[in-house]
Amino acid sequence: MGLLEGKKLLVTGVLTDSSIAFHVARLAQQEGAEVILTSFGRQFRLTQAIAKRLPAPAPVIELDVTNNEDLAALEGRVREHTDHLDGVVHSIGFAPQSVMGGNFLSGEWADVSTALEVSAFSLKSLAVAARPLLSSGGSIVGLTFDASFAWPVYDWMGVAKAAFESTSRYLARDLGPSGIRVNLVSAGPIRTTAAKSIPGFEKMEGGWPERAPLGWDMTDPEPTARAVAALLSDWFPATTGEIVHVDGGVHAMGM
Ligand SMILES: NC(=O)c1ccc[n+]([C@@H]2O[C@H](COP(=O)([O-])OP(=O)(O)OC[C@H]3O[C@@H](n4cnc5c(N)ncnc54)[C@H](O)[C@@H]3O)[C@@H](O)[C@H]2O)c1
């Protein structure tokens, strides 16, 4: 029996087959889950095409996490495919280039607020929109990049991740009494579209494989996807508000 046998999952964030979410969806299907994907706007057709590379068919529904109409329609769109969800994956991040790449001091609120809305507040929006479909035993999992530190070039995206991590703890507090868990996976650098859109991303990657006691492959999203699958499963029944590091061990090392 697979780790996620019979589970119904909503997976956001599949853009290409390098997306972390693509590998979450792939592993989840291999482990017995049924997967519904979300995408939005001009990316929708790309996600539909990429979904064909998954082991099993996965419908794609429209969701821009900043669009209140999409959020209000989410429950109905999911119910066209399943009557409930056992898990939701938040794999969404975006910040305008003007607030990354060394532009911390010149960052303007209009662009910073976009980063915060898409990358942090959206976890609350998604959780609330999906809540009517979730019941006790449900699991929400998101992806972060360790917000305990100021990294080179990450700038306001790093601040958004700090807000994202805090949001996950407040959601854990408020959804815990309903038996719904909220946890994050803190991944090391992986060469995805989102990563490559950060000007100077190589400065964040720099030295990671050397600093990681376990080593680190920036082209391999599988370890991160496995941790997401584990948190979606029934094998972390008493864990919420947690951040599991999947970074080769870098977070635990001194200089
Ligand atoms: N790649 C890394 O090094 C790394 C490391 C740690 C954490 N993460 C996090 O993993 C998550 C997934 O990113 P990825 O690296 O797989 O890149 P990706 O570019 O493949 O995925 C980012 C996704 O965000 C989606 N998105 C952006 N704006 C949206 C909106 N308004 N509504 C709905 N979806 C929206 C995009 O469609 C895309 O699918 C992000 O939260 C990212 O910060 C990435």
Could you tell me the residue ranges of all domains in the chain? 8-250
Question: Would you state the pLDDT for residue 187?
Answer: 98
pTM reported for the whole predicted model: 0.99
Cα-to-centroid distance, 194 and ligand 1 (Å): 6
pLDDT at 255: 72
Question: 154 near 100, Cβ under 8 Å?
Answer: yes
* Closest ligand 1 atom to Cα of 191: 1
Active-site residue numbers? 154, 161
Low-confidence winner among 67-81, 111-125, 198-212, 218-232 (lowest mean pLDDT): 198-212
Give the model confidence (pLDDT) of 68-111 as tens digits.
Answer: 999 999 999 999 999 999 999 999 999 999 999 999 999 999 99
pLDDT bracket for residue 8 (50, 70, 90): very high
Q: Which of 36, 192, 220 to mutate to test the pocket of ligand 1 (most atoms within 8 A of CB)?
A: 192
Mean predicted confidence (pLDDT) in 228-249: 98
Asked if 199 and 101 count as a contact pair (C-beta separation under 8 A), the reply is: yes
Distance 1 CA to ligand 1 centre (A): 30
Q: Are 86 and 78 in contact (CB under 8 A)?
A: no
Distances (CA, A) of 249 to 40, 143, 163: 34, 17, 23
Topology of the domain comprising 8-250: Rossmann fold (3.40.50)
Q: For residue 196, say whether it is annotated as part of any ligand binding site.
A: no
**pLDDT computed for residue 74 by the predictor:** 98
Residue-level pLDDT at 78:
98
65 labelled binding-site residue: yes
Q: Is residue 25's pLDDT more than 80?
A: yes
Q: What is the pLDDT of residue 206?
A: 86
**Could you give the percent of the chain with pLDDT greater than 90?**
98
CA separation for the pair 96, 66 (Å, rounded): 15
Task: Give the C-alpha separation, 114 to 162, whole Å.
Answer: 15
Task: State whether the beta carbon of 94 lies less than 6 angstroms from ligand 1.
Answer: yes
- Transcribe the chain into DSSP letters: --TTTT-EEEE----STTSHHHHHHHHHHHTT-EEEEEE-GGGHHHHHHHHTTSSS---EEE--TT-HHHHHHHHHHHHTT-S--SEEEE------GGGSSS-TTT--HHHHHHHHIIIIIHHHHHHHHHGGG--TT-EEEEEE--TTS--TTTHHHHHHHHHHHHHHHHHHHHHGGGT-EEEEEEE-----HHHHTSTTHHHHHTTHHHH-TT---TT--HHHHHHHHHHHSTT-TT--S-EEEESTTGGG---
42-65 pLDDT tens trace: 999 999 999 999 999 999 999 999
Measure the CA–CA gap between 35 and 249, rounded to whole angstroms.
30
